[in-house]
Amino acid sequence: MNVFVTGGAGYIGSVCVEELLDAGHAVTVFDNLSEGHRSAVDGRATFVQGDFADRTLIHETLGRVRPEAVIHFAASALVGESMTNPSKYFRNNVASGVNLLDATVAAGVRKFVFSSTCATYGPPDRVPMDESLPQRPINPYGESKLMFEKVLGWYREIHGLQFVAFRYFNAAGAGRQFGEHHRVETHLIPNVLAVALGKKPHCEIFGTDYPTPDGTCIRDYIHIADLAQAHMLALDPSKSGFFNLGNGEGFSVRQVIDVCERVSGRKIPTIERPRRAGDPPRLVASAQKAFSELGWKPRFPKLEDIVSTAWNWHTRHPDGYPD
């Protein structure tokens, strides 16, 4: 297929682009490089630097490329930042996203695949979390993704745009070539591994008084290659709807740090800090729907394996990407 990928220079997008190309698809990457890296774009893809805040540019680009499918990764995606700068989240994730959707419809694209998030649920009434849970986000990031999910529903009803929306749990690990390099790193695993690499003196634990067994937040970590695989399955024209993507197992912040110590063989000093605003205590997926309806099956379900791929990438790229 001819596939148009927004955010294909970013962490999850770069790995998905590589897998799409390996599977024989033709790929155009559209990225403004605000978070992504030019050198994270697979050399076999066509690259367009741009921002879909620019309505004319995205219309022109999609009109020229005429893809069969759009995979939309590009977004602002930091829970903590969204609590201090909500405007950025509603502009980038909702308003600019509508430009992309309008251009998608105008270009006659048949399929849209959207990167949503478990942050759309907010603190759940029960875990593991399936798709029937009410969506009550507690941060602007989750709210902005939920708003876009609703826009998608209306575009399906009014314009007939078929879509798959994936609610990712915590993306982690690295692919064969590409890994995690955010210019400002806020995520747990890369921050902990930066300590193991000797680049930081200690890692911070945000909140030790949550209602969890060891007092720290619990998350469901999912390998990015497994996320990428789900996107490939979503390209099947018969697939549509909302799907959670996670491994169904939760790990606390302290457990993640222990696994990082084991994998790296290095001691990782920690400092306890107050809670970070906007963090739900426990998020763990039920991905039964993705298993049964998409035939999706994670290849790297074990946290040790996920962290090992990340450690391998970071040791080979201690300073991340050059650009």
For residues 117 and 169, what is the distance between their CA atoms, to the nearest angstrom?
Answer: 6
Question: Can residue 169 be called a binding residue for ligand UFG (CB under 6 A)?
Answer: yes
Say how far residue 198 (Cα) sits from the centre of its chain.
27
Binding positions for ligand UFG, 233-292, rule CB under 6 A: 253, 276, 279, 283
Min CB(218)–ligand UFG separation in Å: 8
Give CA separation, 60 vs 54, 57, 160, in Å: 10, 5, 21
End-to-end CA distance of the chain: 30
Q: How far is CA 101 from CA 127, 156, 192, 219, 318, in A?
A: 33, 11, 37, 31, 37
**Shortest gap between Cβ of 159 and ligand UFG (angstroms)?**
27
**Residue 274 carries which DSSP code?**
P
> Choosing from 141, 168, 210, 221, which is the catalytic residue?
141
User: Contact, 200 vs 318, CB < 8 A?
Assistant: no
Residue list 182-221, contact with ligand UFG (CB under 6 A): 186-188, 191, 203-206, 217, 219
Nearer to ligand UFG, 4 or 169 (CB): 169
Residue 21 or 138: which CB sits closer to ligand UFG? 138
Which residues, numbered 107-166, are part of the site for ligand UFG (CB under 6 A)? 117-119
CB 31 → ligand UFG: shortest distance, Å?
17
Among 77, 103, 228, 230, binds ligand UFG (CB under 6 A): 77
For ligand UFG, which is the closer residue by CB, 4 or 251?
251
β-pair partners for 116: 167
Report, in Å, the least distance between residue 80 CB and ligand UFG.
7
CA-wise closest residue to 160 among 113, 108, 116:
108
> Is 11 known to be catalytic?
no
Write out the DSSP string of 183-239.
SS---HHHHHHHHHTTSSS-EEEE-S-SSSTTSS-EE-EEEHHHHHHHHHHHTSTT-
To ligand UFG, the closest distance from the beta carbon of 291 in angstroms equals 20
Smaller CB separation from ligand UFG, 110 or 266: 266
Active site (catalytic) residues: 141
**What is the contact surface with ligand UFG in residues (CB under 6 A)?**
77-79, 117-119, 169-170, 186-188, 191, 203-206, 217, 219, 253, 276, 279, 283
